[in-house]
Chain A
Amino acid sequence: DAGVTQSPTHLIKTRGQQVTLRCSPKSGHDTVSWYQQALGQGPQFIFQYYEEEERQRGNFPDRFSGHQFPNYSSELNVNALLLGDSALYLCASSQSRFEQFFGPGTRLTVL
């Protein structure tokens, strides 16, 4: 049984560009959460998707948006990239109220 998968593994962009990160949840999971982990910090919650709707959002600007598809996979989009967006982006999946399982992350570098 595959766990949470994310693509791509690494990504390099320049300021002002847009980026899309992808996440496939663990089999049987219907909820996807996204987190940003800056170097030396703990993960910070961006938003959570359930039944293709954004259920909750953290303290991130509107440049960060997402989507969940009928197969429960999810995308994170970031527009107008800033240097400060450089981080490890983590996807976590869960089955409703149960524990979240994390993927390996996508390392985004903004130059």
Chain B
Amino acid sequence: AQSVSQHNHHVILSEAASLELGCNYSYGGTVNLFWYVQYPGQHLQLLLKYFSGDPLVKGIKGFEAEFIKSKFSFNLRKPSVQWSDTAEYFCAVGSSASKIIFGSGTRLSIRP
């Protein structure tokens, strides 16, 4: 069965701390991986995506993610978080020509 697991439901960090959000997936076929962010009161926005090639993907706002095929993982990282990074983060797998399967999300709270 196709699925996405996000291990952390709620993460609380202080400003300037480093961030890593875990994501594991189960998916047959060609893997396209995504991280979406939903800021309070705003719609889902794409942070970064992996379709093929370099497994280390850089996205907007200083975020990056690494695709590790052997571990079925696509963890999101940021070296130094800011208060404005407070949001809900969703890992997802799928195809734009088909459905995208989302994880249950990780709520990130940043203490100023």
What is the interface of chain A, defined by CB distance below 8 A to chain B? Answer: 31, 33, 35, 40-45, 48, 55-56, 58, 90, 92, 94, 96-105
Q: In the bound complex, how far is the Cα of B95 from the Cα of A48, in angstroms?
A: 11
Are A105 and B100 within 8 A (Cβ)? no
What is the interface of chain B, defined by CB distance below 8 A to chain A? Answer: 4, 34, 36, 42-46, 49, 90, 92, 95-105
Are A31 and B99 within 8 A (Cβ)? no
The CB with the most chain B CB atoms within 10 A, among A42, A94, A100, A101, is that of A42
Smallest Cβ distance from A7 to chain B, in angstroms?
Answer: 14
Smallest Cβ distance from A59 to chain B, in angstroms?
Answer: 10
Are A43 and B97 within 8 A (Cβ)? no
Are B43 and A104 within 8 A (Cβ)? yes
Are A42 and B105 within 8 A (Cβ)? yes
Are A96 and B97 within 8 A (Cβ)? yes
Q: 21 interchain pairs (CB within 8 A)?
A: A40-B105, A42-B4, A42-B92, A42-B105, A43-B44, A43-B100, A44-B102, A45-B99, A45-B101, A48-B99, A55-B98, A90-B43, A90-B44, A94-B96, A94-B97, A96-B97, A97-B97, A99-B96, A102-B44, A103-B43, A105-B43
The CB with the most chain A CB atoms within 10 A, among B36, B45, B100, B104, is that of B100
Are B100 and A45 within 8 A (Cβ)? yes
The CB with the most chain B CB atoms within 10 A, among A44, A48, A100, is that of A100
Smallest Cβ distance from A29 to chain B, in angstroms?
Answer: 10
Note all chain B residues with C-beta closer than 8 A to A41.
104-105
Closest 10 CB pairs of A and B: A42-B102, A45-B99, A102-B44, A104-B43, A94-B96, A97-B97, A43-B102, A42-B104, A42-B105, A42-B90
Note all chain B residues with C-beta closer than 8 A to A45.
99-101
Note all chain B residues with C-beta closer than 8 A to A48.
98-99
Note all chain A residues with C-beta closer than 8 A to B101.
45
Smallest Cβ distance from A90 to chain B, in angstroms?
Answer: 7
Are B44 and A97 within 8 A (Cβ)? no
